[in-house]
Homo-oligomer: A and B are copies of this chain.
Amino acid sequence: MTDQIPSPVKERLLHLMRVLEQRKGVSVTSAEVEALTGWASHTIRKDISWLGGDFGSSNGYHGEALVPAIKAALGLERRRRFCVVGLGRLGSAFLNFPAADLGEFELAAGFDSNVNRVEILKSPAPLYPAYKMAEVIGRFAIETALLCVPAAAAQAAAEKLAAAGIKGILNYAPVALSLPPELAVRNVFVLDELRSLAVKMSNGVYI
């Protein structure tokens, strides 16, 4: 089903899933989802209709039923390991995210080209010098990387990750990467986020 659901619907379903998870068993009405997210209630109902099944909204939506349905529809049922590449301020911030905020994702390793930094930093996951990337990524079957190196080092680091067998990169380095098309990349640029927010503000539309 994953390959049929349009991309914006997937994004909204992901966010709805998060809202439901935070309610911890308490149901949420489409009006409340509208207040929390800004999406019109008919949009929410339409999104949910992609899941098949009856998740009727007369008494509100229940996380117990909806969260597993969304996870199944989006292919998010199994645990996945990720690593952080580049342990400056941003990268080291990600090392210390509470596991509870990472859901089905598990931080398995951190890498930095600076060996001193690797030895000094405190981290719940093991840290390695960058030259061990291929070995460690293979050994722990790490699928995803958070790329937090400086912009000038990002393309080279991404190519090393690709060669090491990584399947997806969250790119926090403010530069577009050129990589084989089978590797999924998601850019997370502060400037783009600020601009998206500015567009939303000028719209007066809350979507």
Binding site for B on A (CB under 8 A): 2-3, 7-8, 10-11, 14-15, 18-19, 22, 35-38, 74-76, 80, 82, 88-90, 92-94, 96-97, 101-103, 105, 143-144, 146, 151, 167-170, 174-178, 181-182, 184-207
- Residues of B contacting A168 in the complex (Cβ-Cβ under 8 angstroms): 197-198, 200-201
Count this chain's copies in the assembly. 2
Please determine whether A203 and B35 come into contact, CB atoms closer than 8 angstroms. Answer: no
Q: Which of A11, A74, A169, A197 has the most CB of B within 10 A?
A: A197
Please determine whether A190 and B94 come into contact, CB atoms closer than 8 angstroms. Answer: yes
Please determine whether A199 and B93 come into contact, CB atoms closer than 8 angstroms. Answer: no
Closest chain B residue, CB of each to CB of A71 = B195
- Residues of B contacting A92 in the complex (Cβ-Cβ under 8 angstroms): 89
Measured CA separation A89–B35 after assembly (Å): 31
Measured CA separation A188–B195 after assembly (Å): 13
Please determine whether A193 and B199 come into contact, CB atoms closer than 8 angstroms. Answer: no
- Residues of B contacting A14 in the complex (Cβ-Cβ under 8 angstroms): 192, 195-196, 199
Known contacts A14-B192, A188-B188; 13 further A-B pairs (Cβ under 8 A): A2-B203, A8-B8, A15-B187, A74-B202, A75-B198, A75-B199, A76-B199, A89-B96, A90-B90, A101-B151, A103-B194, A144-B194, A146-B190
- Residues of B contacting A203 in the complex (Cβ-Cβ under 8 angstroms): 2-3
30 contacts between A and B (CB under 8 A): A3-B204, A8-B8, A10-B196, A10-B199, A14-B195, A18-B189, A18-B191, A18-B192, A35-B181, A36-B177, A38-B185, A74-B202, A76-B195, A80-B194, A82-B194, A89-B90, A97-B174, A97-B190, A101-B174, A103-B194, A144-B197, A144-B201, A168-B200, A170-B194, A170-B197, A181-B206, A182-B204, A184-B200, A186-B193, A188-B188
Partner of A191, one of B89, B102, B186: B102
- Residues of B contacting A188 in the complex (Cβ-Cβ under 8 angstroms): 188, 193
